[in-house]
């Protein structure tokens, strides 16, 4: 990498900001294109919503009013930039997270390198470089720029996924995806079917139960979530067998009528701007073939930050970006194409043996720390601190078991290994 290397970053959410910071730090001339009119990605709240399934993917973010984080802020910071020390709570408001990313961008002087309302519409390789076509969303004009490196940081929570359950077109009531859920009071006196008991399903249930008349929470978890203090107007149901005009029949043969459905059924990974000659296959939430879930094996000057799921996103972005920069800076040489392909195939085979479906090919979950160990061992970069792993032992999956109370616990990191926890109502 020469001092004049040009680097393009697609997206100015947390991953894009992180990539931009390191690209500048490593002496690149870097520009981040962001299609929204502000930075922060997921954490930018807008009132924009839709009814029904049409055009849901045109809504900028899944952020809803009053969202608090489902992870403590102690596992959500970049290693070189802390949350303000006067914040006592650990599970903080989305607006505080957004303010944190804005402060990060200001602190590292990223803003002059970010172009807002610029949508990347095509990325293609050209003579060992990247040709990036952007659309200026204000003037409706196109621009082409050439870069040496490209970081794809377009996020993975923008294109809703819906189950193809029989009868859904017969259903006459309101139906939305959690992506466009905005305000709990919109569900005042409604009878609601929540589909899915992942983070969004559980959290939106928690938001709307004080307003809704009744909530049916339909999920495929083997056991009902063992929530001791579940609200009386929430009734757990197995998955839907088929929909009717005003309700559904569930797998156990029971029926229910409702006026609204909120599909909390996740997202499909889409990267619509990659040209075919990027030599990547993007299908069923898998981007293939990538070395260590981030580097395009056939065009290694392209990388993806943030594909692995069920990780601590901010820690992941920072580790992946530092990992990639070891190669892009010339400090290390990547393995041969054949060796990287073999490594990717080994990883996919190991996942198949564990029974993971292809759409979970980038899942890390509890193994995220093994993944970080591997990135650190390969490149010699600093690993995340042991305190993060120690914290994960007590703060993972809390939304399933202590939905109403888990955010009343706060944490304080003492040193690289230790933390204390306390109840917020304790003096
Ligand atoms: P995003 O934040 O989605 O940013 C991607 C950016 O790329 C966007 O600004 C988008 O406009 C832009 N973009 C996309 N395509 C283009 C294009 N073609 N051209 C230009 N720009 C483009 N994580 C936690 O750590 N803790 C939590 O409590 C937590 N809660 C969450 C709650 C919800 C409802 C959701 C959806 C996610 C939550 N997450 C949480 C995960 C969160 O998404 C990540 O923490 C992180 O913010 C994702 O950052 P990102 O940069 O990868 O993606």
Flag whether 325 is in a domain. Answer: yes
Cβ(135) – ligand 1 distance below 6 Å: no
Residue nearest to atom 41 of ligand 1 (CA): 313
CA 313 to centroid of ligand 1, rounded, Å: 9
Residue 426, class by beta-carbon neighbours within 10 Å (0-12 exposed, 13-18 middle, 19+ buried)? exposed
| Domain extent for 315 | 6-158+268-388
Compute the average pLDDT of residues 318-345: 98
Q: The complex's ipTM?
A: 0.99
Cβ(115) – ligand 1 distance below 6 Å: no
Strand partners, 6: 29
Find the angle CA(196)-CA(200)-CA(204) to the nearest 5 degrees. Answer: 95
CA 258 to centroid of ligand 1, rounded, Å: 32
Q: What is the pLDDT of residue 47?
A: 83
Cβ(218) – ligand 1 distance below 6 Å: no
Distance, in Å, from the CA atom of 273 to the CA atom of 285, rounded to the nearest integer, reads: 16
Q: Do 49 and 84 fall into the same domain?
A: yes
Write down the pTM of the prediction: 0.96
Cβ(157) – ligand 1 distance below 6 Å: yes
Q: Do 137 and 32 fall into the same domain?
A: yes
pLDDT in tens, 131-156: 999 999 999 999 999 999 999 999 99
125-129's contacts with Cβ under 8 Å and 24+ in sequence apart are: 125/275, 125/277, 125/278, 125/299, 125/302, 128/301, 129/301
Q: Ligand 1 pocket test: which of 39, 41, 368 has the largest number of ligand atoms within 8 Å of its C-beta?
A: 41
Cβ(34) – ligand 1 distance below 6 Å: yes
Atom of ligand 1 nearest to the CA of 70: 28
Residue nearest to atom 28 of ligand 1 (CA): 69
Cβ(13) – ligand 1 distance below 6 Å: yes
Q: Do 73 and 140 fall into the same domain?
A: yes
Compute the average pLDDT of residues 172-182: 94
Cβ(83) – ligand 1 distance below 6 Å: no
Q: Do 98 and 239 fall into the same domain?
A: no
Q: What is the pLDDT of residue 83?
A: 97
Q: Do 89 and 47 fall into the same domain?
A: yes
| Total domains in the fold of the chain | 2
pLDDT in tens, 385-415: 999 999 998 887 777 778 888 999 999 999 9
pLDDT in tens, 352-361: 999 998 889 9
Q: Do 21 and 124 fall into the same domain?
A: yes
Distance, in Å, from the CA atom of 294 to the CA atom of 300, rounded to the nearest integer, reads: 9
Atom of ligand 1 nearest to the CA of 267: 36
Q: Do 13 and 123 fall into the same domain?
A: yes
Helices 14-25 & 313-328 angle (0-180, nearest 10): 30
HEC secondary structure over the chain: CCCCCEEEEECCCHHHHHHHHHHHHCCCEEEEEECCCCCCHHHCCCCCCCCCCCCHHHCCCCCCCCCECCCCHHHCCECCECCCCCCCCCCCEHHHHHHHHHHHHHHCCCHHHEEECEEEEEEEEECCEEEEEEEECCCCEEEEEEECEEEECCCCCCEECCCCCECCCCCCCEEEEHHHCCCHHHHCCCEEEEECCCHHHHHHHHHHCCCCCEEEEECCCCCCCCCCCCCCCEEEECCEEEECCCEEEECCCCEEECCEEEECCCEECCCCCECHHHCCEEECCEEECEECCCEECCCCCEEECCCCECCCHHHHHHHHHHHHHHHHCCCCCCCCHHHHHHHHHHHHHHHHHCCCCHHHCCECHHHHHHHHHHHHHHHCCCCCCHHHHHHHHHHCCHHHHCCCCHHHEEEEECCCCCEEEEECCCC
Q: What is the pLDDT of residue 426?
A: 60
Flag whether 348 is in a domain. Answer: yes
pLDDT in tens, 198-224: 889 999 999 999 999 999 999 987 665
Flag whether 123 is in a domain. Answer: yes
Residue nearest to atom 44 of ligand 1 (CA): 313
Q: Do 291 and 209 fall into the same domain?
A: no
Q: Do 48 and 108 fall into the same domain?
A: yes
Atom of ligand 1 nearest to the CA of 33: 20
Structural contact between residues 196 and 266, judged by C-beta atoms closer than 8 angstroms:
yes
pLDDT category, 427, cuts 50, 70, 90? Answer: very low
Flag whether 320 is in a domain. Answer: yes
Flag whether 294 is in a domain. Answer: yes
Cβ(313) – ligand 1 distance below 6 Å: yes
CA 143 to centroid of ligand 1, rounded, Å: 25
Q: State yes or no: pLDDT of 347 exceeds 50.
A: yes
Cβ(16) – ligand 1 distance below 6 Å: yes
Q: Do 143 and 108 fall into the same domain?
A: yes
Q: Do 376 and 330 fall into the same domain?
A: yes
């Amino acid at each position: 990498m020469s001092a004049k290397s040009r680097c393009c970053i697609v997206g100015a959410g947390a991953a894009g900001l992180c990539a931009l910071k390191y690209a500048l730090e490593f002496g690149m001339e870097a520009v981040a294109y962001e299609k929204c009119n502000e930075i922060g990605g997921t954490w930018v709240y807008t009132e924009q919503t839709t009814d029904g399934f049409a055009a849901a993917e045109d809504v900028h973010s899944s952020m809803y009013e009053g969202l608090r984080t489902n992870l403590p802020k102690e596992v959500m910071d970049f290693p070189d930039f802390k949350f303000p020390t006067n914040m006592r709570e650990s599970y903080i408001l989305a607006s505080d997270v957004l303010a944190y990313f804005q402060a990060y961008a200001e602190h590292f002087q990223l803003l002059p390198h970010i172009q807002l309302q610029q949508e990347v519409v095509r990325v293609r390789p050209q003579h060992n470089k990247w040709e990036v076509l952007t659309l200026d969303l204000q003037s409706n004009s196109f621009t082409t720029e050439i870069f040496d490196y490209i970081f794809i940081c377009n996020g993975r929570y923008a294109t809703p996924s819906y189950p193809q359950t029989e009868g859904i077109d017969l259903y006459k009531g309101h139906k939305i995806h959690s992506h466009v859920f905005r305000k709990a009071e919109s569900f005042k006196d409604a009878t609601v079917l929540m589909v899915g008991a992942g983070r969004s399903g559980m959290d939106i249930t928690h938001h709307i139960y004080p307003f809704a008349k009744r909530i049916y929470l339909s999920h495929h978890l083997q056991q009902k979530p063992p929530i001791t203090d579940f609200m009386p107007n929430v009734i757990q149901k197995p998955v839907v067998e088929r929909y009717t005009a005003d309700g559904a029949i569930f797998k156990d043969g029971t029926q229910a009528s409702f006026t609204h459905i909120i599909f909390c059924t996740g997202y499909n990974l889409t990267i619509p701007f990659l040209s075919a000659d990027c030599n990547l296959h993007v299908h069923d939430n898998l981007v293939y073939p990538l070395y260590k879930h981030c580097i395009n094996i056939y065009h290694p000057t392209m990388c993806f930050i943030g594909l692995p799921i069920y990780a601590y996103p901010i820690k992941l972005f920072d580790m992946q970006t530092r990992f990639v920069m070891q190669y892009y800076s010339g400090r290390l040489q990547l393995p041969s194409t054949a060796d990287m392909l073999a490594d990717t195939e080994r990883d996919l085979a190991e996942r198949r043996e564990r029974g993971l479906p292809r759409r979970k090919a980038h899942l890390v979950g509890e193994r995220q720390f093994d993944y970080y160990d591997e990135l650190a061992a390969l490149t010699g970069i600093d690993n995340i601190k042991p305190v993060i792993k120690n914290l994960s032992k007590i703060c993972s999956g809390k939304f399933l078991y202590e939905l109403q109370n888990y955010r009343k616990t706060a944490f304080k990191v003492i040193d690289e290994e230790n933390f204390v926890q306390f109840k917020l109502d304790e003096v």
